[in-house]
A and B are shown apart, each in its own frame.
Chain A
Amino acid sequence: MTSLTDTIAVGPSRHAALLQRQGVVVALVLLILFGAWRYDDFIGLYNVMSVLRYNAMFALVALGMGFVIMTGGIDLSVGATAALASVVSAGVSDIGLGAGLAVGIAAGLAVGLLNGLVIAWAKLPPFVTTLATMLAARGLALLISGNQSVSVSWDTSFTDLGGGDFLGFPIPAWIAAIAFVLGSVLLNFTGFGRAVLAVGGNEEAARLMGLPVARTKVLVYVLTGGLAGLAGVILAAQFGAGQPTEGQGWELFAIAAVVVGGTLLTGGMGSVGFTLAGTMLLGLIFNILNFENGKGEFTLSAYWQSVIRGAFLLLVVLLQNRLARRPG
């Protein structure tokens, strides 16, 4: 998955940017080798498929977050948006998969559009804006669902979106894979992608060059909202219910994945492929903990998961820091 070498850097030197990202690849390879060496079924078909199936929605959220961060912004509302989308899509799941997808993604696009308009036109800071819309989306999700989870219909193909396979590959993983390929193309081969990096690198310069700064920003938040909405639909399909309280902390998990993937929060540079590697890294930690507990030599409670994730984030960030500072 790290062969997507889309290394575009505007601002910091291309070389330093590349070094920034090696941290995640090294860590990911080491983690996979460790797992394969220590656990029998780690590389087994079942485990690989279930890791991919479960992490697909996180990957989608992280993909959007990566784009927002490349413009120098941030989106704290993605988790609540996913929760809102899961609720509304579960509500219409008896009509069918298409309706669930359409309504869920539309809810995400709407939140994203609101974010984008407030940030681009009213010029409020992204952090505060998306903090507010996070509260609003969460409130809406709770209101619509009446504070409880909304069961999905099992009579339509809706649940296939979460549990189904296509050509022996989990459907959520297909969706995430396609989204990442499209995202990579969008970033590297389109005017929009160049505008994203230019706005993040130096907004004033981008404006003077005649780039549509406001439109780029609005589109980026719409894109992120839509991806969060899609993640929400998958969430509902996977767990059989719309979850108004789910998604708490997703935004910070996504930010961590993006940062671990070597994208600087200051914007102007970034990579789609390495964001995926960052997501996989954080997701694999949970998987490895499960295996370790299954082995039974010593048990680590589920609570260790966040401690270890935090430690990994620290490790990778410090590693990137060292690599980026090495002269050359």
Chain B
Amino acid sequence: MQELEIRTPRRHPLTLPRGGALAGTLTSLAALVLFNLVATPHFTSLQTLYVNLTQVTTIVIVAVGMTMVIATGGIDLSVGSLMAISGALAPLIFARDLLGVGPGPLADALAFVVPVLVAMGFGGFNGWLVARFRIQPIVATLVLFIAGRGIAQVMTNGNLQAFHNDAFHALGLGRVLGVPIQVWLMAAVVAVATWVIGRTLYGRQLLAVGGNEAAARLAGLPVARIKILVYAISGLLSGIAGLIVIAINSSSDANLVGLGMELDAIAAVAVGGTALTGGRASIIGTLLGALIIQLLRYTLLSHGIPDAAALVVKAAVILVAVYIQQIRRAS
């Protein structure tokens, strides 16, 4: 099966299809930046940049996985709950010695690796339901959306776990070359995902499954394996995002970690120009989409507009962005 080369028709399946759609997203972002340069005091400070970047990292990381899932024609509602599971598990390992290795570097290392692998496993379970039982993705991932947060709450009894841990402190607040570590992590995730989708066999298979599943199956693609892997990837990225959230807060609250993340991620994907019908994926678009939503919120807040009103504006932006893309696609 490995030597099979898949060509999606006409368009080269690179991550920057349709220059037009991306240009629109870029223009909106540029307009927002320009407005802030003129109207928002202290906008050009590094402080502002980092505030915005750190707030957007977890959304971007989760939204990258969501983009890949959506490219196969699926959706993943469980991301926020998986974040909660991973966020609940890590302190149990390094502070409560869940794995029985005693405190120390080994426990810290396991606290990074095990929760992410567990989240990946749950993601794989989502994929298994979708691929083997042909359960619709909304329903299949709804199971863990409902049960996943419950699992995290049961693990921690619903208590807030406050902690002090140097390794997690570094992930939350540390910097390398003056840039927050989590921002490096986000950049790495975006770069790898862009490469996977644009340059690897798996990337092409993803798009082929999303573009026309029956055709992909007839062409001999291992559709089930492709799908299970993509949900596992989404779970893995959710797991990483969960760790970042608890690292920033120096505490883990299973009731709150990742709450509503599925909708933020889907909104970023939609604004970024990836059609929810599958067959296409623009990782860069998703990054820009997340940045637009974040910057918009920042702009409104820094001009004294309450968060509630920002929600209404966010809604309008999502609708307008998707509408414009739709017109573009039709023409």
**Given A143-B306, A317-B143 in contact, is the A304-B154 Cβ separation under 8 Å?**
yes
Q: How far is it, in angstroms, between the C-alpha of A78 and the C-alpha of B47 when the chains are bound?
A: 39
Q: How far is it, in angstroms, between the C-alpha of A138 and the C-alpha of B308 when the chains are bound?
A: 8
Q: How far is it, in angstroms, between the C-alpha of A204 and the C-alpha of B147 when the chains are bound?
A: 38
Q: How far is it, in angstroms, between the C-alpha of A256 and the C-alpha of B210 when the chains are bound?
A: 25
Q: Is the beta-carbon distance between B309 and A122 smaller than 8 angstroms? A: no
Q: Is the beta-carbon distance between A132 and B306 smaller than 8 angstroms? A: no
Please indicate the chain A residues that have their CB under 8 angstroms from the CB of B168 in the complex. none
**Given A123-B326, A125-B276, A306-B149 in contact, is the A252-B142 Cβ separation under 8 Å?**
yes
Q: Is the beta-carbon distance between A128 and B150 smaller than 8 angstroms? A: no
Q: How far is the CB of A235 from chain B (nearest CB, A)?
A: 19
Question: Is A3's beta carbon under 8 Å from chain B?
Answer: no
Please indicate the chain A residues that have their CB under 8 angstroms from the CB of B312 in the complex. 135-136, 139-140, 143
Q: How far is it, in angstroms, between the C-alpha of A301 and the C-alpha of B143 when the chains are bound?
A: 19
Please indicate the chain A residues that have their CB under 8 angstroms from the CB of B323 in the complex. 122, 124
Question: Is B240's beta carbon under 8 Å from chain A?
Answer: no
Q: How far is it, in angstroms, between the C-alpha of A128 and the C-alpha of B260 when the chains are bound?
A: 15
Q: Is the beta-carbon distance between B154 and A321 smaller than 8 angstroms? A: no
Q: Which A residues, 73 to 96, have Cβ-Cβ distances below 8 Å to chain B?
A: 74, 76
Please indicate the chain A residues that have their CB under 8 angstroms from the CB of B315 in the complex. 132-136, 139
For B, the interface residue count at a CB cutoff of 8 angstroms equals 46
Please indicate the chain A residues that have their CB under 8 angstroms from the CB of B277 in the complex. 125
**Given A135-B312, A143-B309, A313-B146 in contact, is the A318-B133 Cβ separation under 8 Å?**
yes
Interface centre among B140, B146, B150 (most CB of A within 10 A): B146
* Cross-chain contact of B150 among A123, A132, A266, A310 (Cβ < 8 A): A310
Interface centre among B129, B138, B311 (most CB of A within 10 A): B311
Q: Is the beta-carbon distance between A255 and B322 smaller than 8 angstroms? A: no
Q: Is the beta-carbon distance between A304 and B150 smaller than 8 angstroms? A: yes
Residue of A whose beta carbon sits closest to that of B157: A301
Q: How far is it, in angstroms, between the C-alpha of A79 and the C-alpha of B146 when the chains are bound?
A: 15
Segment at the A interface, from B3-11, B243-251, B263-271? B263-271
Q: Is the beta-carbon distance between A142 and B308 smaller than 8 angstroms? A: yes
Please indicate the chain A residues that have their CB under 8 angstroms from the CB of B169 in the complex. none
Q: SS class of chain B's interface: helix, strand, loop or mixed?
A: helix
Q: How far is the CB of B256 from chain A (nearest CB, A)?
A: 12
Question: Is A131's beta carbon under 8 Å from chain B?
Answer: yes
Q: Which B residues, 276 to 305, have Cβ-Cβ distances below 8 Å to chain A?
A: 276-277
Please indicate the chain B residues that have their CB under 8 angstroms from the CB of A65 in the complex. none
Q: How far is the CB of B268 from chain A (nearest CB, A)?
A: 11
Please indicate the chain A residues that have their CB under 8 angstroms from the CB of B145 in the complex. 252, 310
Q: How far is the CB of B106 from chain A (nearest CB, A)?
A: 30
* Cross-chain contact of B77 among A122, A138, A139, A252 (Cβ < 8 A): A252
Q: How far is the CB of B327 from chain A (nearest CB, A)?
A: 10
Please indicate the chain A residues that have their CB under 8 angstroms from the CB of B148 in the complex. 310
Please indicate the chain B residues that have their CB under 8 angstroms from the CB of A253 in the complex. 146
Question: Is A1's beta carbon under 8 Å from chain B?
Answer: no
Please indicate the chain A residues that have their CB under 8 angstroms from the CB of B143 in the complex. 310-311, 313-314, 317
Residue of B whose beta carbon sits closest to that of A145: B308
Q: Is the beta-carbon distance between B311 and A142 smaller than 8 angstroms? A: yes
Question: Is B52's beta carbon under 8 Å from chain A?
Answer: no
**Given A124-B326, A135-B314 in contact, is the A306-B136 Cβ separation under 8 Å?**
no
Q: Which A residues, 260 to 311, have Cβ-Cβ distances below 8 Å to chain B?
A: 264-266, 301-311
A-B contact pairs, 25 of them (CB 8 A): A74-B138, A124-B323, A128-B319, A128-B322, A132-B315, A134-B263, A135-B314, A135-B315, A138-B311, A139-B311, A139-B312, A142-B306, A142-B307, A143-B306, A265-B138, A301-B158, A306-B146, A306-B149, A308-B150, A310-B144, A310-B147, A311-B143, A313-B146, A318-B133, A321-B134
14 further A-B contacts with Cβ under 8 Å, apart from A140-B312, A305-B150, A321-B133, are A128-B318, A132-B267, A135-B314, A136-B312, A136-B316, A142-B306, A142-B308, A255-B138, A264-B136, A265-B136, A307-B147, A309-B146, A313-B143, A317-B140
Query: Closest 6 A-B residue pairs measured CB to CB?
Result: A310-B147, A139-B311, A306-B150, A142-B308, A303-B153, A136-B315
